[in-house]
Amino acid sequence: MQELLEISNLEAGYGLIKVLWGANLAVKQNECVVLLGVNGAGKTTLLKTVVGLLKVWKGKVTFDSNDITYLRPDIRIANGIAYMSELAIFPNLTVEENLKLGGYFKGDKENKKRMEKLYQYFPDLKEYKHKMGGSLSGGQRKMLGVAKTLMSNPKLVIMDEPSSGLSPKFVKRVIEVLNMFHEEEKVAMLIAEQNISFLDFAEKTYILDGGKIIFEGSVSELKSNNIIREAYFGITH
């Protein structure tokens, strides 16, 4: 299968501090990739660099066979990338307005259709569609963030810790919904997580440590790697 996103020798950081030291990563069409790493490993930096929020110091990012290394974030989004950060919503806009912004590049008709589909998966959002995003509970906000990200019918969804701050029940729900969209719409996903529940539907995993990719492989390979088992899952035998 063809690579949808390809990151080669990526170096980036903040000010004078280099965080990524030549990271390599690839996501194929319709593939779900989970990027694991402890706090400070550089996961968010890597994702921010891919969507254009941080400048690339060195290396190359290609998406859908196009070099996007130096494109503005809005152009990358228009090309079919959707990004959900940890603070993904507009709290002072209504749920409906948030969703409309998620499908900013689509026409009103298409947006309406898409919104109705998403309301089926997130019935709470339909009920609260005229409420401000900021008035929702933490779990509902996260759901709104996920729905907003899926509004644009993207080729690739990039998510930064979608489970952070959520109860296990909501984490399960997020995984279910993402899995459904992954299966139904063949959307590729790159999810940076610390929560290993996301491995259940991952087809490939990477582990980022100290700004470098130290592991690349399938979930079963990951789980059978003793060093990784010990370092990330706390399994010593």
Partner 1 sequence: MLKKRIGSFGIILIIALIFIFLPFVYNNQSFLFNMMLYIALAEGLNIIYGFTGYLPFGYVGFFGAGAYSASLAILFLHFPPLLSIFIGGMGALLVGVVLMPLLKLSGAYFAIANLAASQALYYIVANPNLESITHGPYGISLASVYNPHASYYTMLAVLVLSMIIVLFIRTSNFGLSLLAIKEDRITASLAGVNVAKARAIAWGLSAFIAGLSGASFAWYVSVFYPGTVFSLNISVIVIVFALFGGIGTIAGPLVGSLILYSFYNFIGISTPQYFQLLYGILIIVLVLFLPDGITSILQKRKIYVP
Cβ-Cβ contacts under 8 Å for 15 (sequence gap 6 or more): none
The residue assigned the tokens 């997130």 is 122
Name the residue type at position 82. Answer: A
Which one among 11, 28, 71, 101 touches partner 1, defined by CB under 8 A? Answer: 101
Our finding on whether 85 is near partner 1 (CB under 8 A) is yes
| By the rule CB under 8 A, 93 interacts with partner 1 | yes
Span from 10-18, 60-68, 81-89, 200-208 in contact with partner 1 (CB under 8 A): 81-89
Residue from 91, 138, 168, 210 that binds partner 1 (CB under 8 A)?
Answer: 91
| 24, 208 contact by CB (below 8 A) | no
**Token pair of 70, please?**
């130096």
- Residue 119 phi/psi, 5-degree rounding, is -65, -30
Per DSSP (E only), the strands in the chain are: 3-14, 17-28, 32-36, 58-63, 66-67, 81-84, 156-160, 188-193, 204-209, 212-217
Min CB(63)–partner 1 separation in Å: 14
The contact pattern for partner 1, residues 158-177, with x = CB under 8 A and - = no contact, is --------------------
What SS3 class is residue 49?
helix
Query: Are the C-beta atoms of residues 90 and 133 closer than 8 Å to each other?
Result: yes
Sketch the per residue contact string, 32 through 61, with partner 1: x for CB under 8 A, - otherwise.
Answer: -------------------x-x--------
Least Å distance, CB 236 to partner 1, is 41
The answer to whether 97 contacts partner 1 (rule: CB under 8 A) is yes
Q: Which of 14, 70, 72, 165 binds partner 1 (CB under 8 A)?
A: 72
Which range, of 60-68, 104-112, 195-203, 211-219, touches partner 1 by CB under 8 A?
104-112
Question: Least separation, in Å, of the C-beta of 120 and partner 1?
Answer: 22
In whole angstroms, how close is the CB of 19 to partner 1 at the nearest point? 18
Contact between 129 and partner 1 by CB under 8 A: the answer reads no
DSSP 57: S
> Which pair of structure tokens corresponds to residue 217?
């492989």
Is 104 a binding residue for partner 1 by CB under 8 A? The answer is yes
Residue type, 58: K
Binding of partner 1 by 139 (CB under 8 A): no
In terms of Cα–Cα distance, which of 177, 138, 155, 188 is closest to 32? 188
Report if residue 130 touches partner 1, rule: CB under 8 A: yes
- Beta-strand (E) ranges in 120-200? 156-160, 188-193
User: What is the binding site for partner 1 (CB under 8 A)?
Assistant: 51, 53, 72-74, 77-78, 83, 85, 87-93, 97, 100-102, 104-105, 108, 130, 148, 152
